[in-house]
Amino acid sequence: MESFGSVYILSTRMLTLTLRCNGRRHGWLLVAALVLSACMGSVRAEDGYALWMRYVPVAPGVAHEYQRHLGEVIAPDQTATQRAALEELQRGLSGLLGSAPRVSTESAANHVLVLGTPESSRWVAPFRQELETLGGEGYLLRQARVAGHDVVMVAARTDIGVLYGVFHLLRLLQTGASLENLEVRQSPAIKLRVLNHWDNLDGHVERGYAGGSLWDWHTLPDWQDPRYTDYARANASLGINGTVLNNVNANALSLTPTYLAKAAALADVFRPYGIRVYLSARFSAPIEIGGLRTADPLDADVQRWWREKADEIYALIPDFGGFLVKANSEGQPGPQDYGRSHADGANLLGDALAPHGGVMMWRAFVYAHDVPQDRAKQAYSEFAGLDGAFRPNVLLQVKNGPIDFQPREPFHPLFGAMPHTPLMMEFQITKEYLGFATHLVYLGSLYEEALNADTHVNGEGSTVARVVDGSLDGHALTGIAGVANIGNSRTWSGSHFDQANWYAFGRLAWDPRQSARDIAAEWAAMTFSPDSEVVRPVVEMMMASREAAVDYMTPLGLHHVMARGHHYGPGPWVDGGPRADWTSVYYHRADRNGIGFDRTRQGSDAVSQYAPAVAQGFGDVARVPESLLLWFHHVPWDHRLRSGRPLWDELVHHYTRGVRQVQAMQATWDSLQGRLDAPRHRQVAAFLRIQENEAQWWRDASVAYFQSINGRPMPDGEVPPPHPLSYYQALQFPFAPGDGR
């Protein structure tokens, strides 16, 4: 395996440099041991590859305590997952504590670290009953006296639980936690915690900003890049237990024997890490690769074809997770092509998978060409009436908001509206609408806001998180998906800070009640340094970053006002083209008198798709949160806001505030120079400069455009855009990354 971020450069020159680190000079006699233990961080090649699993030496103060508890390990190594857990532990402890633990089957020492399940370890066997309560993926970390020994135990009912527990333990060490009286009981709140890769078979990643696809379809299945194992490790460290390998805009070829063999090779790599492989299925595959004349879900040949396809897949991948389908949306084929419903389509594939225990994840992201209805209403109109019509192994996968991964949206009205159907949350981790990989925007806050939103369907406290984790309606089959931001870039995510979004998704998928701030702190400590002088400012930057992006892109509830197609940069003037709901003017509806989409009862009435308590709040211009004002209301430019400012002034104020916030992030980052490794510090600083320029561009272009519509002067104290509107409108980016193809 490629050394995961532990590349030590020991040329003579580096050694000399290292000897001077921290302003001290050491005699040559001390050489390697001292150098490595005192200054390892400064000679590492910090290129981001190691993600949050850098395992750099802990502070000397805690090292001693950790050594005492963890110097000797008793662990089974019979199964692939047991070996993965032990290897991770050895890798982690070697890096963190400077030496590998002794591994034995029987203890001689007074202090031991024990890994195992009741079956694999006699030390753990007495805890069998307690472990039963933690389920198939849960784990227990405990410091206890067992058989006269002082034991730190990483115990679980299954090997996967132990692996997850090892990652938890390593996280504690990386963040400087104490092991005294350690007591952690964890089990995931959501069953399926899945990444969705929008990766095409040609290596292009739709909405990908981190290079090309990680999957080298050409060399699979013969060559299994070690990076696939590191990908699995990273996901397992968060508890992510599934991955959909290919784009929802699917190519039927991924279901042919050639590609199934490649997917099976990936499944083999991922299996020890508890990760199941899923595939996006093209609904018309029976025609395209099966030679049938129809893909009608009620056609017996079509049904047989899918059953046989499922049998074929499970023969190659016995733990195959199931299918993800985008149907009758944005030109994709689907059951409605044959006059059938989405339930007919989903059940067709659900039935084929059921004998093998697979699940069918059917997407609710649909809106049709020929429907003049407000796009925000269409998914609900299509699906709410189908509640109860799906097979038990079908989940409906719903984006967090009713439009499309905007910087801010209200929660999707389907959450809470389909009590008899398991609804999966679909978040986007890749930042299609949030500045791609160069803008520092921490999405933990966005996810938290969506999960904490209260649907009020069963009274107060009926949060989206409770819909998704099944507790509101008593579902055992539950799921959450994140559209991955992972590519073959050395940083995996295209930037150092975008790694935090993968991390936050995984941590919230495990427990949607965690706070975005705590997750940010954990991530920052592991990714940069546990030093509070680093963590505190980094967390402040992260926590302010999402609101900053909302401010400079889409303040006060504006949405979908970015450039056409690639979505890079502002485009509030976008109009015309193939469909109205792909334009900006459709969404902001600005004219001389006012701005905003009237979704009240007098307008499109989208508010009525929410429970009455929510609908009343959103529908009342005096009560709607100002952050969603223009999502739900069309208001005059001089409408007074809570600040006392008229709307136009407030809008410009937000744009400017967003730019200022980016400048504040830059200042904070600059102040960290010297506390972090130079390569990562430099890249983040450069990206923040890009972000500042682009935030300014967003602000100026938006102000210039809206000013051209309302004819109003710049509010007092605001600097006018430096260019005329025509300048911004003329900018072209034919090669902006990530565009659909």
In terms of CB distance, is 330 or 531 closer to ligand GCW? 330
**Closer Cβ to ligand GCW, 328 or 529, answer by number:** 328
Compute the least distance from the CB of residue 739 to ligand GCW, in Å: 8
Q: Is 568 in the site for ligand GCW (CB under 6 A)?
A: no
Q: Angle at Cα 150 formed by Cα 144 and Cα 152, nearest 5°?
A: 60
Cα–Cα–Cα angle for 235, 238, 242, nearest 5°? 45
Q: Backbone phi, then psi, for 233, in 5-degree steps?
A: -60, -45
CA angle 27, 3, 184 (to 5 degrees): 95
Residue appearing with tokens 């697979």: 358
For 350-389, give the DSSP string. Answer: HHHHGGGT-EEEEE-----TT--S-HHHHHHHHHGGGTT-
Q: Catalytic pick from 199, 230, 404, 694?
A: 404
Which of 72, 137, 199, 206: binder of ligand GCW (CB under 6 A)? 206
Consecutive H or E run containing 165: helix 159-174
Q: Which is nearer to ligand GCW, 441 or 614 (CB)?
A: 441
Site for ligand GCW contains 198 (CB under 6 A): yes
Q: What token pair was written down for 696?
A: 């300014």
Name the token pair of 54: 């850098």
Give the shortest CB-386-to-ligand GCW separation in angstroms: 19
Q: Could you say which of 326, 653, 654, 699 contacts ligand GCW (CB under 6 A)?
A: 326
CB of 330 or CB of 626, closer to ligand GCW: 330
C-beta of 426: minimal distance to ligand GCW in Å?
A: 8
- Count Cβ atoms within 10 A of the Cβ of residue 714 and give its class: 0-12 exposed, 13-18 middle, 19 or more buried: middle
Task: Judge contact between 150 and 143, C-beta under 8 A.
Answer: yes
Q: Pseudo-torsion of CA 392, 395, 396, 401, nearest 10°? A: 140
Instruction: Please list the residues that pair with 271 across neighbouring strands.
Output: none
**Per-residue binder mask for ligand GCW (CB under 6 A), 232-271, x = binder:** ----------------xx----------------------
Reading the block at residue 614, the tokens are 């929510």
Nearer Cβ to ligand GCW (565/617): 565
The alpha-carbon radius of gyration of the chain (Å, integer) is: 27
Known catalytic residue at 47: no
Q: Which of 352, 365, 454 is nearest to 411 (CA)?
A: 454
Min CB(111)–ligand GCW separation in Å? 51
Kindly tell me which of 379 and 624 has the beta carbon lying closer to ligand GCW: 379
User: Are the CB atoms for 394 and 380 separated by under 8 Å?
Assistant: no
In the complex, minimum distance from the CB of residue 364 to ligand GCW, in angstroms, rounded to a whole number: 10
Pairing assessment for the beta strands 423-428 and 394-399 based on DSSP bridges: parallel
Nearest-CB residue to ligand GCW? 740
Q: Is 740 in the site for ligand GCW (CB under 6 A)?
A: yes
365 makes contact with ligand GCW (CB under 6 A): yes
Residue of 296, 374, 432, 449 marked active site = 432
Q: What is the 3-state secondary structure (H, E, C) of 4-43?
A: CCCCECCCHHHHHHHHCHHHCCCCHHHHHHHHHHHHHHHH
Running DSSP on this structure, what letter comes out for residue 412? P
Nearer to ligand GCW, 221 or 740 (CB): 740
Question: Residue 282 or residue 681: which is nearer to ligand GCW going by CB?
Answer: 282
- For residue 280, the minimal CB distance to ligand GCW (Å) is 9
Task: Give yes or no for residue 204 binding ligand GCW (CB under 6 A).
Answer: no
DSSP string computed for 633-677: --EETT-B-TTS-BHHHHHHHHHHHHHHHHHHHHHHHHHTTTTS-
- Residue among 69, 157, 193, 207 that touches ligand GCW (CB under 6 A): 207
Q: Measuring CA to CA, how many Å separate 479 from each of 111, 482, 515, 658?
A: 40, 10, 19, 34
Binding mask 126-165 for ligand GCW (x = CB under 6 A): ----------------------------------------
Of the residues 47, 225, 268, 330, which is catalytic? 330
Q: Is residue 382 at the binding interface for ligand GCW, with CB under 6 A as the rule? A: no
Shortest approach of ligand GCW to residue 372 CB, angstroms? 21
Q: Which residue has the tokens 């290129």?
A: 47
CB of residue 243 to ligand GCW, shortest distance in Å: 16
Q: Tell me how many residues contact ligand GCW (CB under 6 A).
A: 12
**Residue 579 is a binding residue for ligand GCW (CB under 6 A):** no
DSSP string, 266-310: HHHHHGGGT-EEEEE--TTHHHHTT--S---TT-HHHHHHHHHHH
Nearer to ligand GCW, 239 or 737 (CB): 737
Nearer to ligand GCW, 290 or 738 (CB): 738
Of 115, 165, 167, which is closest to residue 139 (Cα–Cα)?
Answer: 165
CA–CA gap between residue 215 and residue 225 (Å, rounded): 9
* Residue carrying structure tokens 């890994």: 115
> Site residues for ligand GCW, window 330-359 (CB under 6 A)?
330
The DSSP line for 546-611 is HHHHHHHHSGGG--S-BPTTT--SB-TT---SS-GGGSSHHHH---SSEES---STTTT-GGGGS-
Q: Whose Cβ is closer to ligand GCW: residue 212's or residue 740's?
A: 740
- Measured from the CB atom, the residue of 169 and 248 that comes closer to ligand GCW is 248
Candidate list 382, 404, 448, 469; residue touching ligand GCW; CB under 6 A = 404
Establish whether 330 is a catalytic residue: yes
- Report d(CA 443, CA 181) in Å as an integer: 33
| In the complex, least distance from residue 502 CB atom to ligand GCW, rounded to whole angstroms | 18
Write down the least CB distance from residue 411 to ligand GCW, Å: 17
Residue 343 CA: distances (Å) to CA of 234, 330, 350: 35, 18, 10
- Identity of the residue, 160 or 558, whose beta carbon is nearer to ligand GCW in the bound complex: 558
Is 143:151 a contact under the CB 8 Å cutoff? yes
Contact between 419 and 446 (Cβ < 8 Å) = no
- Per CB under 6 A, contacts with ligand GCW among 407-446 are 432
Beta-sheet strands, E only, within 117-275: 139-146, 149-155, 183-186, 192-196, 242-244
Minimum CB distance to ligand GCW, residue 187 (Å): 31
Distance of alpha carbon 351 from alpha carbon 338, whole angstroms: 19
Compute the least distance from the CB of residue 206 to ligand GCW, in Å.
Answer: 5
Active site residue 432: yes
* Strand pairing category for 594-595 and 479-483: unpaired
Least Å distance, CB 336 to ligand GCW, is 16
The residues annotated as belonging to the active site are 330, 404, 432
Residues making contact with ligand GCW (CB under 6 A): 198, 206-207, 248-249, 326, 330, 365, 404-405, 432, 740
